[in-house]
Structure formats: C-alpha cells, structure tokens
Chain A
Amino acid sequence: MVTKRHQQANILGMAGQWHCIIPTMPDSESAITPVSIDPQRLRLTNDDASTGTLIGFKCNECEASVFGPAIFCQQCTSTDLKAVDLGNKGILFSFTIVRIPPAGWPGEIPYVLGQVELPSGPQVLAEVINCEHKDLKIGMGVELVLKSVPAENGGPDKAVYKWRPV
C-alpha cells in the first residue's frame, strides 16, 4: 500500500533517506517520529512524541499568561516576557459535539471540541477524547494527551494535542 505520505516522500526524493519507509508494511509508519503540530504552542517532552507540554509566555510586569507565541504582553503591552510551560492540565470551560466537521478534519465524526481553561488563565481549544458524551460536564478536570495524525500535505506525522478527562 502506498500512502499519500509515501508518495510525497518520493516526490521529494527522500525515500532513500527514510530507511523506515517500507510501502508494503503500513505498520512501520509509526517509526517516523511525529513532529509537534505547532512548535510555538506544544513542546514535546520525550523522543517518541507521546508526551508534551503547552507553552507560552508570562508577563513579568502584570503576570498575564499567553498561550503560544507573543512578542509583547496581550494585556499590558510590556515586552518583558519570559517563556513558560503552561502545563498539561486544565478545566473544561465549554464543549460541543461537532457532527458536521470543518474542511480538512482528519479525525472521527462526531468529535468533541473542548474549550479548556489553563490554571494560568489562557484557554485552549482541542478535541476531547476517551470520554462518553453523556459524562462531559463543564468544570471537569482534563489533561493533555498527544495523538499522532498523518500530515495533510505529506511529511512526518503531526503530534496533535488533545484533552481527556482526568
């Protein structure tokens, strides 16, 4: 079986470098280490991309935290920021069960989209997995879990952050 990713690798002339690509053995795909879905928002914390932490910045003047990249504080506009780990836990602020997905959605349908508030304040959208829909509740604790997803345009898989109930 030749996957879209293998075709892409061949187009780029990279198949030879990726000794792990054996088109007849799809199981071997996991041998390529996934890359962070967004290195400015998710830092992988082990070699097989199975754990990670959300990252951002904290303002040294007003203490506000920002999820993801920032050049200046979004609250007070100070440039005195320090890079911080925002951790891997949060509280479900809101959620919805999406039955008609957006273009390019690579997962199952329906899926649960969760809006999660981090202890430091910022909110992070991601899929909530490993849960029964009827058990979902605003205010419940959730933790980050990483899942490897094939890249839309070829290349290594993406390590995507998701939430699951604690």
Chain B
Amino acid sequence: MTMNKIKSGREVMVVGVGLHPFGRFPDKDLGQLAIEAVLPALEDAAVKWKDIAVAYFGHVYYQGMSVGETSLSKLGLTGVPIVNVENACSSGSTAFWQAYWGITTGLYDMALAFGAEKVPRGPVTVTAEDAPERYIGGDHMMAGYALRGKRYMEETGAPATALAQVTVKARQNAAMNPFAHRKDTYTIEEVLNSRMIADPLTLFQCCPTSEGSAAAVLCAREDLAKYGINESRAVSVAAAVLTSGDYNGRGADHSAFSPYRTEPAAIQAYEMSGISPEDVDLVQVHDAATIGELQQVEALHLLPFGEAWKGTMEGRTALTGDIPVNTDGGLLAMGHPFGASGIRMIHETVTQLRGEAGPRQVANARIGVAQCSGAGDVTTVHILKRG
C-alpha cells in the first residue's frame, strides 16, 4: 500500500467531552443514552447546541433508521448535517475522525462526534445466518484473539500470568472510575481461574459487552474566541488517521483478527503530528481481550515488539509506569458499547491531558494516543496534545 502523507489544515481542538456510564440500562433507549453524553459534552465545552454545525453518530446494532437525527432532534431541530456512522468497533472513533476532517478542511467551525450502543448479551458474531464462517467455527471474536494469544506466547515466551496481569491492571484503573462497567479488582490467580472461553483467554480476559454513550465537541482553534470557548481547557488534535484492511495474501479468514493495521496507521499519525513514540505520555488501545492490549502497544511502537508482556509485568503500563495504558480501565473493565468506545478513549485522553482525572491522573500528561480497532481491519489512531 502506498502510504499517503496526510496534510491537515486548520488546527482542531477538542473543547468538550461527555460520558454516560457503561453497563446495562434497560430503561433507556439508544437515543436517550446518546443524549445523556451529548448534553454533558456541550456543557463541558460551554457552547450552545445551535453552535454545532455538523454531527457524526457512531453505532453498530440497528435500532431504527437515522438514530442520530431522532436523538438529536430532542435538543431542537437546527437543520445541520447529521451522519450515522457504522465502522464496527471503531464506529465512534470514525465519527470523531470525520468531525476532525470536517473542521480542519474549513467546512465547519464546530462539530459534534458522539456514539452510543446497546450491545446484546453473549458472544459477538460478525457474519449472518448460514454464512460459511458459522460452519467453520471461526466467527468468534474471542477465539480470534485466543489464536493471537497462543501464537504470541509461543513466539515471545510470555506466560499466561502476563496476559492475566493486563486484566489485573485494567480493573485497578477502573476501580477509580465511576463510569466503568466492571469495578471489582482481581488477582492474577482469580483472572486465570475464571471460566475458560478459548484458551489462553479466560472470561475475565475478555471485555464485557455493554451499553453506554460518549460524546466530544470539536472546534477550530482560530474559532474558539468567536464562540467564547475557554482555550485553557481545550486539547489539540495532533493527528487523526483511519485505515482499513490490506491483507497481503494472508487470506480473509485471518485478517479480521490481526492487529497488523495499527502499525501503518501509527506511522502515519506520528508523521502527521511530528510527535514520536518517545513523546507519548499515555495511551488508550483496543483491548477487547488482554492479548489485544499487548499487541497494540507494540504496534504503536510504545514498547518493543515481543516485549509488551514484560513491560506489563514490570508495571510500565500501570498508572505509575512510564507508558500508562488504558488508564480508565479500557474495554476490559469499562466494557464495550461499540459505537461509544472510540469516543470514550478520547474522553479519557482529554480528561488526563487536562489534569482532571482525579485518582487516575497520570503525572505531567501532555501527549496521549487513542487507538481503536474494528472488524474489517478498521483502525483509527488519534494523537491529542495539551495546549
């Protein structure tokens, strides 16, 4: 693949973020969940709904047509473009990516990116009834991660305890996060002794499916004053990259489970921002299973290939380490409402860079990366920068 040098335009800032707790909310429909993240994001930005010039809504499961429009109509009809975005587990981060590009190109002053989901309980499948994958037994997200885990352990010598430590750390972070779906903490032994899903992955090493929502308001830096936005709490978007699959003869069966698209996306993002991996203070990655976190951190060049498991065991990815990973608990403990997760990562990154993460605060956090993956080898990498 030829990698495009990405040319951005106007500097774009995240000026407000909002989050609805992740969990199970049978009394709220998708639109209601969405609004309950959008309102706090608008309030956080101290802007009015009528200032939003465009909105992008990430969600995956069908909940009726044009849910983005119907949910936002409760705030008042303003006639702005509203786009419903489906890009698997990266739907939310894709909505954010679109909002960025809508502003940097000069089309809009201010944009809303939001996402919400009510994921059904049980294992997640991708294909429709009677599809070949159903007979082959390969349409199983966690089995796909398990294949990666088994291979990673063989190649790197990582023990099962290193994978389990990813969950232990995620739960410790989530215990300090009132928005998390799972807040109980576990020992390595408890993680390994939970029900086996597909070896080496036990239940506590797989993210829960969840309901929830997240929202972000973005604005061009040069337009902040026009809308009376407080620049001191605004966080700059230094890179926004979206990629899709490029399977290089590996075969479609395999590509859905591979993390290999993260590295080229990360290289593009580092080039676009002029930021190098050594400059990164914290990172949120797509940890739908423990092995995912290890491989994504390596693909982002934040720890050497084959060594993220050691870094994890040594505490380097903990809140107090040199490269804290999934500071809010990640998918493993926050849970995974597909359309919301990508923007949840932005929410956490912005909160950390503002120094407003309370007991989870990473000291002197200035630059944060958010990486989100989805079926179809969708990968997004965003780099955010304070000031």
Contact = CB atoms under 8 A, between A and B. Distances in A.
Nearest to B149: A96
Contacts of A103: 122-123, 125, 134
Interface string B169-207: 000000000000000000000000001111111000000
A148 B140 CA distance: 21
Interface stretch (A12-20, A23-31, A43-51, A122-130): A122-130
Interface string A102-129: 1111110001010100000111111100
B209 to A, nearest CB: 13
Nearest to B122: A103
Contacts of B251: 56, 66-68, 122-124
Given A37-B136, A38-B132, 14 more contacts: A65-B249, A74-B249, A96-B201, A97-B199, A98-B146, A101-B137, A102-B134, A105-B137, A113-B138, A121-B249, A125-B138, A126-B136, A138-B154, A152-B129
A74 B250 CA distance: 9
Contacts of B154: 94, 138
A75 B250 CA distance: 9
- Nearest 9 CB-CB pairs, A to B? A96-B146, A122-B251, A125-B138, A67-B251, A94-B151, A64-B249, A38-B132, A123-B254, A102-B140
Contacts, number: 131
B301 interface: no
Given A64-B249, A126-B137, A152 B197 contact: no
A142 interface: no
A153 B132 CA distance: 12
Interface string A53-79: 000100000001111100000110000
A124 B255 CA distance: 10
A126 B150 contact: no
Contacts of A41: 132
A67 B150 contact: no
Interface in B247-282: 247-254
A37 B137 CA distance: 12
Interface of B: 122-123, 125, 129-130, 132, 134-140, 142-143, 146-151, 154, 195-201, 246-254
Interface range on chain A: under 10, 10 to 19, 20 to 34, or 35 or more?
35 or more
Contacts of A160: 135-136
A123 B151 CA distance: 14
A102 B253 contact: no
Contact of A96 (B132, B150, B195, B247): B150
Contact of B132 (A37, A75, A99, A123): A37
Nearest to A158: B135
A111 B139 CA distance: 13
A66 B150 CA distance: 24
A96 B134 contact: no
Given A96-B143, A99-B197, A100-B198, A123 B250 contact: yes
B248 A74 contact: yes
Contacts of B246: 74
B42 to A, nearest CB: 39
A94 B122 CA distance: 25
Contacts of B199: 96-97, 99
Nearest to A138: B154
